[in-house]
């Protein structure tokens, strides 16, 4: 039996991978009128404290954490500001949140005890609310539903006690619950509740919201876990990277993230700094192992060894990324460092010859237009290296709808993309994508299937970590794909902003963040 109780610390800071102070020339004035923003810092003109303004590079499409966008980073970020979850992820694991404690009397049973918390309308957060929210997620068709395949039942044992039972042990229980926002039971399926100003129990309440434009929030002064440091938080969506960075330089926004690698030089001036930490995002080039010649591991390894990965990452991403050493980012639970493939074109040619391709071959790589920063230059760099070992590669940049259709139909030779791990747990990536059943890249390995199945169904986290270490090694050694880099969560921050820590999931906690006038 295991028990976890809530302490007074709700979040812990992440270790910073890099902290660079930048200096350079000044910038001229700039005004963003579409989001109702005012230039400069300090007062708003009426004696009130100016809001904290933060701009993500992705739009908030929906405030409904039960909708189709419920694994989108921007939606998850908004949900965490407005609503609460039973548990929260920290850099050390998980801590109680709405739940004051949890108990696991056996591997298939979890018992959560709720604290005395109310929604904005004054109604208490009850076990019935939790039950309705989990059942809606598990029984729906959104991306989160796949995480709950082992759910058997959710029972409101009493007003403050929730008992969750599973058909088999579920090692991802806590990471799954960290994504589930708790709202009133009668609001779960009510689209109108989430349309403009849903009332949750979180640290902020909605002042105004327009999808793909802005979200303005006011702090809840009597928030049960402690009032936010900034009384108002404004989250404008500024789609153009250059415009977003100009807004930071001129004081229209105080914080922005993710900073593209090819535009980071724009922040080289006084009063600005760059803060970075490992993220949950990595890039990969999958091989379709159901097609020749990529059904041969020697060919896949040759393609990897033909590329000077370290040089490519340095040239294209600079300080915003690191060379990957596993098929999942280092910030994800289950990461296990692997030995990088050496850059050895001679060995690559030899492997191709052994596989029956002494003169190389022709193939293609596809990617979705606009899917990730620097993806076309990355594809072009790879193709240039592959040309040196006799592999002629056609570059195919596709509209996202066509790319997705072809991806799922395995109608491709190589697929280049990036992806974010939504839960911070290896199961979300490895257990969801690399099994024979998933069949996402035509690769099948019964040993890997067994390892990943066991890792999902064991609740002992040390055992799970050991299993994922084995899985990482198999995927790496079999060269299921090329894993060139992991992205750093890179933030541009104005001087005077305090308490901000980069978040690996691109969902920063703004509760402890303040700005001086």
Longest Cα pair distance anywhere in the chain, in angstroms? 76
* Rounded-to-integer distance, Cα 17 and Cα 28, Å: 31
Domain boundaries defined on the chain: 2-271+495-515, 281-487
Say if residues 179 and 189 touch (Cβ distance below 8 Å): no
**What is the model's pLDDT at position 90?**
85
**Which tokens in the block code for residue 210?**
């327009």
Separation CA 297–CA 470 (nearest Å)? 18
Return d(Cα 281, Cα 60) in angstroms, integer: 19
Report pLDDT for 387: 98
Q: Rounded to an integer, what distance in angstroms lies between the CA atom of residue 241 and that of residue 225?
A: 35
Cis ω before 446 (30° cut-off from 0): no
Place of tokens 């327009």: 210
pLDDT for the residue numbered 69: 86
The pLDDT of residue 4: 57
Domain 281-487: top CATH class? alpha beta
Supply the pTM of this predicted model.
Answer: 0.82
The answer to whether 20 and 221 are in contact (CB under 8 A) is no
The Cα-based distances of 390 to 360, 363, 384, 446, 504 in angstroms read: 4, 11, 10, 33, 39
CA 178 distance to own-chain centroid: 13
Predicted local confidence at residue 262, as pLDDT: 84
Task: Supply the DSSP string of 244-273, one letter for each residue.
Answer: HHHHHHHTS-SEEEPPPGGGGGGG-STTEE
Mean pLDDT in runs of 10 for the chain (517 residues)? Answer: 43 29 27 35 50 94 91 93 95 91 96 97 97 96 90 97 97 95 95 90 96 96 96 96 94 94 88 94 98 98 98 95 97 97 98 98 96 94 98 97 96 96 93 95 98 94 97 98 96 96 93 90
| pLDDT value for 33 | 31
Query: Candidates 1.20.140.10, 3.40.190.10, 2.60.120.10, 1.10.287.3510; correct CATH number of 2-271+495-515?
Result: 3.40.190.10
CA 215 to chain centre: 20
CB atoms within 10 A of CB 326: 23
- DSSP E strand boundaries for 172-271: 204-210, 214-219, 232-236, 255-257
CB atoms closer than 10 angstroms to residue 7: 8
Q: What is the DSSP string of 117-165?
A: -B-TTSPBP-HHHHHHHHHHHHHSSSGGGGGGTTEEEEEEEETTEEEEE
């Amino acid at each position: 039996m295991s028990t976890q109780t809530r302490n007074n610390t709700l979040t812990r800071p992440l270790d910073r991978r890099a902290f660079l102070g930048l200096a350079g020339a000044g910038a001229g004035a700039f005004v963003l009128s579409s989001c109702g923003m005012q230039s400069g810092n300090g007062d708003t003109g009426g004696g009130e404290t100016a809001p904290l303004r933060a701009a993500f590079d992705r739009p908030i499409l929906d405030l409904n954490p039960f909708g189709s966008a419920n694994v989108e980073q921007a939606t998850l970020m908004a949900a965490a500001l407005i609503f609460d979850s039973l548990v929260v992820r920290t850099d050390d694991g998980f801590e109680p949140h709405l739940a004051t404690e949890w108990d696991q009397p056996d591997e298939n049973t979890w018992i959560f005890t709720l604290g005395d918390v109310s929604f904005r309308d004054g109604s208490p957060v009850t076990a019935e609310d939790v039950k309705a929210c989990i059942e809606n997620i598990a029984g729906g068709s959104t991306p989160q539903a796949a995480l709950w395949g082992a759910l058997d039942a959710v029972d409101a044992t009493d007003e403050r006690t929730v008992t969750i039972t599973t058909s088999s042990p579920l090692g991802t229980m806590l990471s799954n619950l960290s994504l589930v926002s708790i709202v009133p039971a009668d609001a779960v399926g009510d689209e109108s509740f989430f349309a403009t100003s849903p009332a949750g129990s979180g640290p902020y309440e909605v002042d105004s919201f327009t999808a793909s434009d802005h979200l303005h929030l006011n702090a809840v002064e009597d928030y049960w876990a402690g009032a936010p440091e900034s009384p108002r938080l404004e989250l404008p969506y500024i789609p153009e990277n250059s415009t977003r960075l100009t807004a930071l330089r001129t004081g229209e926004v105080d914080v922005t993230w993710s900073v593209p690698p090819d535009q980071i030089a724009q922040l080289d001036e006084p009063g600005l700094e760059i803060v970075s930490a490992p993220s949950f995002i990595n890039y990969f080039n999958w091989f379709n192992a159901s097609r020749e010649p990529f059904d041969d591991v020697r060919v896949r390894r040759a393609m990897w060894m033909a590329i000077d990965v370290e040089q490519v990452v340095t040239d294209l991403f600079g300080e915003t990324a690191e060379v990957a050493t596993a098929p999942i980012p280092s910030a994800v639970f289950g990461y296990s460092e692997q030995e990088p493939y050496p850059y050895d074109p001679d060995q690559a040619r030899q492997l191709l010859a052994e596989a029956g391709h002494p003169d190389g071959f022709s193939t293609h790589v596809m990617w979705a237009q606009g899917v990730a920063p620097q993806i076309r230059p990355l594809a072009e760099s790879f193709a240039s290296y592959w040309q040196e070992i006799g592999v002629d590669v056609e570059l195919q940049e596709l509209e996202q709808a066509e790319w997705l259709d072809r991806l799922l139909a395995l109608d491709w030779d190589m697929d280049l993309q990036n992806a974010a791990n939504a839960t911070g747990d290896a199961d979300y990536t490895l257990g969801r994508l690399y099994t024979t059943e998933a069949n996402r890249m035509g690769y099948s390995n019964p040993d890997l299937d067994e390892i990943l199945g066991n890792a999902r169904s064991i609740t002992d986290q040390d055992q799970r970590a050991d299993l994922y270490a084995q899985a990482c090694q198999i995927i790496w050694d079999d060269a299921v794909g090329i894993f060139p880099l992991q992205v750093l969560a890179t933030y541009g921050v104005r001087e005077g902003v305090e308490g901000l820590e980069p978040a690996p999931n691109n969902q920063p906690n703004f509760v402890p963040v303040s700005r001086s006038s």
